[in-house]
Amino acid sequence: MAKVDFRLVEAQKPDVLFKRLKEHMGKEGFCDIEVINHGGYEPVKTSPKDSFIVRVVETAEQVYGMKPVVWPTAAGTSPIYLIKNWMRIPVAYARAVDYPGLRVHALNENIRI
């Protein structure tokens, strides 16, 4: 058994990629392998230049007294695509606590206070 996890980029659709994976496996002679789709979400991205993001960054700077680090993309999965892609409302993902030893979603997951 193997688990394959795709990290999608803007405009990719999980169902289309799943179909293409199965087609590719068939063309390469792997028709006998069962491939199961356990679901997926559309990717989401809001430009750092969007007025909403600019407001979020300015507000974070006021609250924390320092400029936040802004990453235009991050690995993660959530149904937030419903807001951005379907409702056309910009979104921001703010993580106030982050450091190399965070071990997010792993044994001994922790944060610093």
| Structure confidence by residue, pLDDT tens digits, 2-37 | 888 888 888 899 999 999 999 999 999 999 999 999
Alpha-carbon distance of 7 to 41, in angstroms, equals 10
Domain range summary for the chain, segments of one domain joined by +: 1-39, 41-113
The pLDDT score that the predictor gives to residue 27 is 97
Cα torsion through 78, 106, 21, 14, rounded to 10: 0
User: What is the reported pTM?
Assistant: 0.68
The candidate with the shortest Cα–Cα distance to 95, out of 82, 111, 107, 81, is 111
Over the stretch 58-80, which tens digit does the pLDDT of each residue have? 999 999 899 988 888 777 778 88
Going by C-beta distance under 8 Å and a sequence separation of 6 or more, which residues neighbour residue 18? 35, 37, 40
